[in-house]
Amino acid sequence: MNKPYLIGIAGGSGSGKTFFLKCFLEHFTADEVCLVSQDDYYIPVGHTMTAEENKLYNFDLPSTIDHKHFEEDIHQLMNQQVIYKKEYTFNNSNATPKVLEIKPAPIIIVEGLFILHFKTIAELLDMTIFIDADENVALTRRLKRDLNERGYSNDDVTYKWINHVVPSYKEYLLPYRESCDKVVINNTNIAEDIIKITDDISAELREKVLA
């Protein structure tokens, strides 16, 4: 088979990357595309922490990711091998992690905060997409998500944002924005705007990769 086409999708917290991916994936079948997410490669630590330790621990650093395992699994997919990975539940003790079965496909999407910073992973990517949003927009989205879905308090989210999220974004992600093939500015909550962008990129890929 031909080498799979790897797309890297990076974006800071609150950029709307999850919604972009959801819209993007709807253009393809499971036989055409697969997704491997950096979030499922966090090194487990949360289960040993108190609530205060969890608040202070910086999850927004490259060292929190098992990037070697992440890279190995990408290579397995490139070599047409199925991978199995336990879902990461973001220290939510009420969530039961699923075992993810990820099957190889002609298009492999690699997504995450540090995928451009991890050089050996970045070098594998055929196309890079950067999802960006203004800081105030991103913070509002982060607050909504962490309060509703992950059980953090407003103070915890604000502390992590100021001390962890923004510094990490500026050091490990922002420097790569201008070198990406496509930059998507996502400051609105108008779904049609993102859907249109994913329509265009998907059509380009169908012609380039799946034709």
CATH number for the domain that contains residue 9: 3.40.50.300
**Number of CB atoms found within 10 A of residue 49's CB:** 13
Q: Tell me what the mean pLDDT of segment 154-171 comes to.
A: 90
Query: What's the chain's average pLDDT?
Result: 89
The pLDDT tens digits for 8-31 are 999 999 999 989 999 999 999 999
**What total number of domains does the chain contain?**
1
* pTM attached to this predicted model: 0.88
Query: CA-CA distances (angstroms) from residue 68 to 41, 73, 90, 160?
Result: 9, 9, 20, 26
The yes-or-no verdict on residue 1 having pLDDT over 60 is no
Name the residue range of residue 149's domain: 5-210
The yes-or-no verdict on residue 110 having pLDDT over 60 is yes
Q: Tell me what the mean pLDDT of segment 87-94 comes to.
A: 66
The yes-or-no verdict on residue 48 having pLDDT over 90 is no
Mutual angle of helices 191-205 and 17-25, in 10-degree steps: 50
